[in-house]
């Protein structure tokens, strides 16, 4: 995506435009400055905090301790679950939202009546603020005694299910997937609508089955938008916080890395350990970003 977008942008470089270069740098500088001040500087500070012993309640007592904070973090019983939870959350949300979004997009594309209204219904969850969707799901739908899902379960003769007590992480994943499914759906729908009709008709004339057309023509066509959906969702899922904050309030069963940093810094006032966890979260994001950008790049080259 990026390489292609930029190279075409650079194509407009005219010979008489060099004089603009200096002024251009001036125009870009404020944006770069703000980003430096809010991302790189704090990251360097976090790195420094992660190698000193720094407790909020005993100021002035900070001293260099090397990797001690990392040792404490890695042996902390909360660390491994948080790392695993981060992976599971992202994997579950991506799977549900992309498979569901694809199915819905295929349906809407075939629908003949009221496609505009369908889009409005489907996109709505995407614009709902995270704490609102989390609390509505937790209380109105997933509440085990009088929630709507308990009523549905009752109709089918099933026992009510205590979602947040039994499977908190999956429950949170469902809520978050509900918010991102519309995004995946609309992106894939846009892409489906740009699929060449003649190509499909030619394949049909050649006797290709619907499944073969989907597998060999439509899925490859969707590879690029899917890669972009995965990338954008992952960016936002890495900092998932509010949904955990308002539903379970943390705990081993549902804390991700972001929540671990929050609870260590804001609830236990242990800046050193929290910073170490923050650095681990950044490393985790970078590893993910590395594979993502490679995967996205590969699907773009194809």
Partner 1 sequence: MRARQASSLGMTALAWCAAFAVAFPLLWALLTSFKTEMEAASFPPHFLRFAWTLENYRVVMADGDYFASLRNSLIIAGGSSALVLALAVPAAWAMAFAPTRRTRGTLLWMLSTKMLPPVGALIPVYLFYRDWGLLDSTFGVALLLAAGNLPIAVWMLFSNFKDVPAEILEAARMDGATLLQELGVVLAPMALPGLASTFFLIFTLAWNEAFWTLNLTSVDAAPLTAFIAAFSSPQGLFWARLSAASMLTIAPVLVIGWFCQRQLVRGLTFGAVK
Footprint on residues 139-168 left by partner 1 (CB under 8 A): 139-141, 145-146, 148, 150-151, 154
190 class by beta-carbon count within 10 Å (0-12 exposed, 13-18 middle, 19+ buried): exposed
When the beta carbons of 75 and 286 are compared against partner 1, the nearer one is 286
Q: How many residues bind partner 1 (CB under 8 A)?
A: 111
Binding to partner 1 in span 249-288, by CB under 8 A: 249, 257-258, 261-262, 265-266, 271, 274-275, 277-279, 281-282, 285-286
When the beta carbons of 202 and 266 are compared against partner 1, the nearer one is 266
Round to whole Å and give the CA distance between 145 and 160. Answer: 7
Query: Candidates 73-81, 87-95, 119-127, 200-208 — which segment interacts with partner 1 by CB under 8 A?
Result: 119-127
For helices 219-237 and 271-301, the axis angle rounded to 10 degrees is 170
For residue 204, state whether it binds partner 1 (rule: CB under 8 A): no
Round to whole Å and give the CA distance between 282 and 49. Answer: 14
| H/E segment holding residue 52 | strand 52-53
**Considering only residues 67, 80, 87, 107, which one is a binding residue for partner 1 as defined by CB under 8 A?**
107
Contact between 55 and 269 (Cβ < 8 Å): yes
For residue 202, state whether it binds partner 1 (rule: CB under 8 A): no
| H/E segment holding residue 73 | helix 68-75
Under 8 Å CB-to-CB from 97, ≥6 apart: which residues?
177, 180, 181, 183, 184, 229, 233
Tell the smallest beta-carbon distance from residue 66 to partner 1 (Å): 19
Site string for partner 1, 29-68 (x = CB under 8 A): -xxx-xx-xxxxxxx-xx--x-------------------
């Amino acid at each position: 995506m990026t390489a292609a977008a930029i190279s075409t942008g650079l194509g407009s470089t005219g010979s008489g435009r060099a004089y603009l270069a200096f002024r251009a740098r001036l125009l870009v500088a404020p944006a770069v400055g703000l980003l430096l001040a809010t991302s790189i500087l704090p990251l360097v500070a976090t790195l420094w905090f992660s190698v000193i012993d720094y407790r909020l309640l005993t100021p002035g007592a900070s001293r260099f301790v090397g990797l001690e904070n990392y040792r404490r973090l890695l042996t902390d019983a909360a660390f491994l679950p948080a790392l695993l939870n981060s992976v599971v959350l992202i994997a579950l949300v991506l799977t549900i939202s992309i498979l569901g979004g694809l199915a819905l997009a295929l349906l809407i594309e075939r629908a003949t009546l009221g496609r505009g209204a369908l889009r409005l219904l489907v996109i709505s969850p995407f614009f709902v603020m995270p704490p609102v969707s989390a609390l509505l799901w937790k209380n109105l739908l997933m509440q085990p005694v009088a929630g709507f899902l308990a009523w549905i379960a009752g109709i089918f003769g099933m026992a009510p299910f205590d979602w947040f007590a039994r499977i908190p992480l999956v429950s949170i994943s469902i809520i978050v997937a509900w918010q991102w499914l519309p995004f995946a759906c609309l992106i894939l729908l846009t892409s489906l609508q740009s699929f060449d009709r003649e190509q499909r008709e030619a394949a049909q004339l050649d006797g290709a089955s619907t499944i073969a057309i989907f597998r060999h023509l439509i899925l490859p066509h969707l590879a690029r938008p899917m890669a972009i959906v995965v990338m954008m969702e992952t960016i936002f899922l890495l900092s998932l916080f509010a949904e955990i904050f308002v539903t379970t309030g943390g705990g081993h069963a549902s804390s991700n890395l972001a929540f671990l940093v929050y609870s260590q810094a804001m609830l236990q006032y242990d800046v050193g350990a929290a910073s170490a966890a923050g650095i681990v979260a950044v490393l985790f994001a970078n590893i993910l970003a590395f594979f993502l950008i490679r995967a996205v790049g590969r699907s773009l080259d194809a």
